[in-house]
Amino acid sequence: MSLINFNEIFKKDVAPIYINHQKTFDAYCMHGCLHISRSLIICRALCNMLSARGLSVDIDKISYAVAFHDSGRCGNGIDFWEQNSKGICYDYLTKNNIPDATYISNLIVKDNSKNDYNYLCVYDTDVLEIMRPCSGIGVLNFNKSYLRLSYIFNDYPFINEIIPFILETESNKGLYSDENSLSNLITLISNNKEKYPTLHASILS
């Protein structure tokens, strides 16, 4: 499924969950629409890079897991609610007759014993997103050793795109805090494809 097509799912079924979080416990949008929208783009870039190396990945499965990975949160900080998010994801997938609901929803739950590339793509996407300043980690304190795919990507060459992408969008959260968040990010990248070539390639796939 293309990102443009997944954007329709995001607008209708995903964004309302995070908009509600932003109104209740997440006023600073730490785990809101912007985090999820950016993650949907970053995971696609990682997926493309894995595919280019001949490794088997499924962007649809990855996208659903990424979209719902913070859906069950009841607060920011350490994620004590992964099982809630897993359940919300599973219920959505089964309700909409999307196959492999158990497998997809399990991609949300962190487990160091998991080594399949779909899981590692979801995992590293969330690790990269911790560079957002509101996380309390930010760019300066980011530790690349937590990235599970570094051994494949040789120190993540496209991290130099992710840093400005995160900082630029964090500075203008008003554009990325509702159901149009992903659409607006796609527009931003399309208008700055020289600055974000890897991310631009990902939104076209």
Residue 109: the pLDDT is 97
Q: Which helix (H) or strand (E) holds 20?
A: helix 15-24
Residue 81: the pLDDT is 97
How remote is the C-alpha of 31 from its chain's centroid? 10
Residue 193: the pLDDT is 95
The pLDDT-based confidence of 99 (bands split at 50, 70, 90) is very high
The pLDDT-based confidence of 144 (bands split at 50, 70, 90) is confident
Domain extent listing, the chain: 3-204
What average pLDDT does this structure show over 134-156?
84
Residue 142: the pLDDT is 87
The pLDDT-based confidence of 53 (bands split at 50, 70, 90) is very high
Percent of the chain predicted with pLDDT > 70: 100
Burial group, residue 64, by CB count within 10 angstroms (0-12, 13-18, 19+): buried
Residue 136: the pLDDT is 76
pLDDT of residue 51 exceeding 90, the answer is yes
Q: What is the pTM of this model?
A: 0.96
